[in-house]
A and B are shown apart, each in its own frame.
Chain A
């Protein structure tokens, strides 16, 4: 199993550009998450999905969009990139229910720099 994979590993964007961060998992997990981590800070939840076709906002959703058409993939879209979106982005997945939280497994991260 590859686990959780993310592409690209690193990207530089100009202000106003758009891009999609890719995330895929092969563990048949129902839940998937997108976090951002700024230097010296903890993880902040951007969006999450409880299954294909179902997504919801996290703590810091502004400036981002997601979709989940399959169990495996959960892309994160940045529209009109801003310097405030410079961060490291982590995708994670888990098998979870409303009453039980299993371990979240993280991808290797995407480092994004907006200039």
Chain B
């Protein structure tokens, strides 16, 4: 059973629109959640993390966490073609010696 699930996409949004990326997790012990962006052929880079219920904003990015429903989302406002990438969601369960569990990623395409 997968612990972190994401829709593989591709999710296609027009330039300037809001992209909504979703992630669900099965382990209720998950404490923190990380969103990584990965361009084709490159390594993952952190966009933001969240550990409290609610919203966390950083520039054009907003992470949302709902622990009761066990989902995490990433909103990208004013999407740009440079946002086209695969977005990986990862969860961390306390007491697991700092191991992250990654989802398979959602591919986002921002069209002109």
Contacts and interface: CB of A to CB of B under 8 A. Distances in A.
Interface in A28-49: 31, 40-45, 48
A99 B99 contact: no
B104 A98 contact: no
Contacts of A104: 34, 46, 100
B25 interface: no
A106 B42 CA distance: 10
Contacts of A50: 97-98
A108 B42 contact: yes
Contacts, number: 53
Contacts of B43: 90, 106-109
Contact residues on B (Cβ < 8 Å of other chain), bracket: 20 to 34
A33 B32 CA distance: 18
B98 A31 contact: yes
Given A40-B8, A41-B104, A42-B88, A101 B44 contact: no
B49 A103 contact: yes
User: Main SS of chain A's interface residues?
Assistant: strand
B51 to A, nearest CB: 9
Interface in B29-45: 31-32, 34, 42-45
Interface in B8-52: 8, 31-32, 34, 42-46, 49
Interface of A: 31, 40-45, 48, 50, 56, 58, 90, 94, 96-99, 101, 103-109
Interface of B: 4, 8, 31-32, 34, 42-46, 49, 88, 92, 94-95, 97-100, 102-105
